[in-house]
Chains A and B, each alone.
Chain A
Amino acid sequence: MNQYDIEMLQTITAVSPESVRLYNTATTGGSRAVTGIQKMVQRYVVTLLTMLGSVRFDTVFGTDVVADLSVGMTRNTAGLSNAFNFASSDALDILKAEDSNILYGVTPDDERVARAILLDFNVDIASGTLYLDVQLNSVAGESYTYKMPVTITRD
């Protein structure tokens, strides 16, 4: 049985039309329900980009990647890759723990992340945004590459 979440990252394009089928409004661009690999990508991105300690009553949820990038700890490509890989590993641990919790039912293979690989990155100086190209592979064998925006400037 598929389980649904609300669409947050509308730039995720569904791999197949069946992945996105529910709309709660007839208005184009309104809120949608997501499932399948689209939901998998969304959960991964939310988990990776949530700053550790920022969620009340769940202070172990999230990773340090945003904090590391925004304070300028990464000075080169190797540093960036290092920060991403540590944070991605933490995010995958969190997702796996949730996926194996029977409280939430059985998680289908196309919603479980098998690997996350940083393919490339580029920086938009004008907007102060770092774009990470991350390839996500599901346990079912599907893969999806998502360009993840990370704001690295401070107000």
Chain B
Amino acid sequence: MTSELTKAATLSQDEFDQAEAIFIGLLRESYPTLDLRRGTALRDLLVRPSSAAYALETRRNDELMRTRSLAAIIAQPGVDDTDAINAVLANFGTELRLGYGASGVLKVTVNAPGSYRANAGTVFTNSETSASYTAPASVAARSADTTLRGPDSDGLYYFTVPVISDAAESVSEGVAFTLAIPFSGYVAAVSYSAFTAGREDETPSEALARLPKTLASRGLVTRAAIETAFRDPTSPGYNSSVSALSIQGMGDPAQQRDRHNVHGVPLGGRIDVYARTFSTPPVITLVKNGELQVDGSYRILVQPSEAPGLYAVKSVTYASDVLQPGDESEGPLDFTVTRLSLTGAAPAHRFTAEDPTIGTVYHGVEIYVNGYNFGDTAPVFKVSLYAARDVELLQAYVDRPDVRNAAADVLVRTPFMCIVGLNVVVRHAPGVVIDVAALRQALTNVVNRNSFYGILTMSELVAAAHTYPIISVDTASGRSGGFALRGRVVDGAGVEHTLQGHRIDVADILDPTGLMTRQTVAFTTSPDLISVEAVAA
């Protein structure tokens, strides 16, 4: 941009002509005896160079006017000048939040036992979207130390490889990936479980909307100030990872940690920060050994350090299983969950026995798989967990000596994820083609923008559907109808609640002692949980 502002060669004819006309007018007004016609020496030596300089100066001034205001930048479609936007935002101590790519774990299948290695930088390609995924670190798998598992029912062996991408896409469990240069014995690679989706870069409009929050003073005192502390550009990047915050402090229904006294009244000194760091449900997948119990069940222990920000257990399957969409033959196993008691070193934050640790870095669980006989005292399971790993970084940040509140115990939690499913039938004119995949993504975006509001309505979803060339949305509910909205959410006590209807409202399951309020719940979904049927009217 700088070169365009300083080089006459980049001027357009219109820019030059306008500048020349103004310059000649000004000069004629002051010095009417100068002959400025074409062909004169004054025209060549004075008017032309000065006009070029004036045109450049005009352009610089226009650029300054254009970039001094966020509103002005936003009003110019197609302008993508991140530096200019950040220059304005820097006046308010913030900057644009960067997006991040999807991440997850691949199951790499090989045809024989032995030693295998996926080097750091190995690139896998999503066969559906062609997005590239890279292994950030080398992974070695050997039969000798059980990092290579199997054989499974097909006689194949497998190991897992964590991968990350620049693409902000959703990936379901069982999606096939390709390897550009397969190694000896390589058979296939699939997503071991649903990936944690990425997020697009923040738009200037979104930055403008949150700007007031950056104007608060920096200190863990008020809600605005707490949010400012997280969004401080000098903090290590949390402005980009946190999309929404809900702060529960003294007197808030979902703040129960400061009520442990004989009268049960809030005394202050405790703050719970619910930080949404995800769009689609974030998943951590572990491969764990079960432990046979005397009652015949199998116990799987998940320590807090293994799944920071653990919110709920998504599924437990045989370690070798990769569920395909619609595949019911190898469904998840039945299990129950109990909270892991906080033993060992006392955490830096105070809990009593009845305080839910759900969503914090101190939350671990014991999973009991019941009703199966695996013929093994320590069978291997694949455990998929809803957990936002960024909570660990955020908690470490607020615990820093230079950041932490001297008067209160600040605890960071994963929001209670209300996993939303939606079935919808849309009608369109004959011959009109509806991009169903894009419509599903649009509906997904509506759900994933909804944090700490507690209500999700059919109206906002229908409004999003009408941005596509449809005639109507079948809003009848029930078996014969075309609209079914459901939400599942687990409260702090581990109780699962189901919401459904044209409007799902957390107020219907309000339970402050289980930390279940509108201010603690974030709606979330992924495209594979949304079914759209387009029919010609």
A residues with CB within 8 A of B: 1-8, 35, 39, 42-44, 46-47, 50, 55-58, 61, 94-95, 98-99, 101, 103-105
With CB as the reference atom, state the residue of chain B lying closest to A22.
Answer: B33
- B27-66 interface code vs A (CB 8 A; 1 in, 0 out): 0100011111111111011001001100000000000000
Contact of B38 among A35, A42, A58, A105 (CB under 8 A): A58
User: Is A6 a contact partner of B45 (Cβ separation < 8 A)?
Assistant: yes
**B13 within 8 A of partner (CB):** yes
Query: Is B17 a contact of A104 with CB atoms below 8 Å?
Result: no
Contact across chains for A104 and B35 when beta carbons are under 8 A apart: yes
Interface flag for B425 (CB, 8 Å): no
Chain A residues contacting B446 (CB-CB under 8 Å) are none
Q: Are the C-beta atoms of A43 and B40 separated by less than 8 Å?
A: yes
Q: B48 contacts A4, CB within 8 Å?
A: no
Task: Write out the residue numbers on chain A whose beta carbons fall within 8 Å of the beta carbon of B38.
Answer: 47, 58, 61, 94, 98
The answer to whether B39 and A94 have CB atoms under 8 Å apart is: yes
Residue pair A5, B16 in contact (C-beta under 8 Å): no
Please tell me if the beta carbons of B48 and A46 are within 8 angstroms of each other in the complex.
Answer: no
With beta carbons under 8 angstroms apart, the residue of A5, A39, A57, A58 that contacts B11 is A57
- Classify the secondary structure of B's interface with A: helix
Take A2-B33, A4-B33, A105-B32 as given contacts and tell me if A56 and B8 are in contact as well, using a CB distance cutoff of 8 Å: yes
* B42: nearest chain-A partner, CB-CB: A5
Taking a contact as CB atoms under 8 Å apart, the answer to whether A5 and B32 are in contact is no
- State in angstroms the CA–CA spacing of A44 and B39 once bound together: 7
If the complex has contacts A3-B33, A4-B34, A104-B28, are A57 and B41 also in contact, measured as CB distance less than 8 A?
no
Contact between B48 and A47, CB atoms less than 8 A apart: no
- CB <8 Å contact, A103 and B28: yes
Contacting residues, chain A, for B8 (C-beta < 8 A): 56
Q: Is the CB of A55 within 8 A of B48?
A: yes
Chain B residues lying within 8 Å of A46, measured Cβ to Cβ, are: 39-41, 44
- Which residues in B have their C-beta under 8 angstroms from that of A5? 34-35, 40-42
- Decide: A57 and B48 in contact? CB cutoff 8 A: yes
CB-defined contacts of B28 to chain A, threshold 8 Å:
103-105
Which residues from chain B contact A55 at a C-beta distance below 8 Å? 44, 48
Smallest CB-CB separation from B35: which chain A residue? A3
Q: How far is the CA of A39 from the CA of B40 in the complex (A)?
A: 8
Within 8 A of A (CB), among B1-31: 8, 11, 13, 16-17, 20, 24-25, 28
How far apart sit A55 and B51, CA to CA, in the bound complex (Å)? 13
- Report yes or no: A47 in contact with B35, Cβ–Cβ below 8 A: no
B52 & A57 in contact (Cβ 8 Å cutoff): yes
For B42, list chain A residues within 8 Å (CB).
5-6
Q: Given the complex, which residues of B lie within 8 Å of A7, measured CB to CB?
A: 41
The listed residue (B11, B13, B41, B51) touching A8 by CB distance below 8 A is B41
Q: Are B34 and A3 in contact (CB-based, < 8 A)? A: yes
Q: Which residues of B contact A43 (CB under 8 A)?
A: 37, 39-40
Q: Give every chain A residue within 8 A of B16 (Cβ-Cβ).
A: 57
Q: Which residues of A contact B13 (CB under 8 A)?
A: 57
Closest to A97 in B: B38
Interchain CA distance A103-B36 in the complex, whole Å: 10
Additional pairs, 16, CB under 8 Å, beyond known A3-B35, A47-B38, A95-B39: A2-B33, A3-B33, A5-B40, A6-B42, A8-B41, A39-B35, A46-B39, A46-B41, A47-B39, A55-B44, A56-B8, A56-B52, A57-B16, A57-B17, A58-B48, A103-B24
Q: What are 22 A-B residue pairs whose CB atoms fall within 8 Å in the complex?
A: A1-B33, A2-B33, A4-B33, A4-B35, A5-B41, A5-B42, A6-B41, A8-B41, A39-B35, A42-B39, A46-B41, A55-B48, A56-B48, A56-B52, A57-B17, A57-B20, A57-B51, A57-B52, A94-B38, A98-B38, A103-B25, A103-B28
B13: nearest residue on chain A (CB-CB)? A57
Distance from A33 Cβ to chain B, minimum over Cβ atoms (Å): 9
Contact flags B128-142 to A (C-beta < 8 A → 1, else 0):
000000000000000
Cβ-defined contact, B32 with A1, below 8 A: yes
Chain B residues in 8 Å Cβ range of A57 = 11, 13, 16-17, 20, 48, 51-52
Cα-based distance from A95 to B39 in the complex (angstroms): 8
CA of A43 to CA of B38 in the docked complex: distance in angstroms?
8
On chain B, the residues within 8 Å of A42 by CB distance are 39-41
CA of A57 to CA of B39 in the docked complex: distance in angstroms?
Answer: 14
In the bound complex, residues from chain B placing their C-beta under 8 Å from that of A99 are 37
Closest residue of B by beta carbon distance from A31: B41
List which B299-348 residues lie within 8 A (CB) of chain A.
none
Contacts of B25 in A (CB 8 A): 103
Chain A residues in 8 Å Cβ range of B41: 5-8, 42, 46
Contacts of A8 in B (CB 8 A): 41
Determine how close the nearest CB of chain B comes to the CB of A6; give it in whole angstroms: 4
Task: Report chain B residues within 8 Å CB of A94.
Answer: 38-39
Choose among B24, B28, B33, B35 the residue with the greatest number of A CB atoms under 10 Å from its CB. Answer: B35
Chain B residue with minimal CB distance to A107?
B37
Q: By CB atoms of chain B within 10 A, which of A47, A56, A99 has the most?
A: A56
- Which positions 242-284 of chain B face chain A at CB distance < 8 Å? none
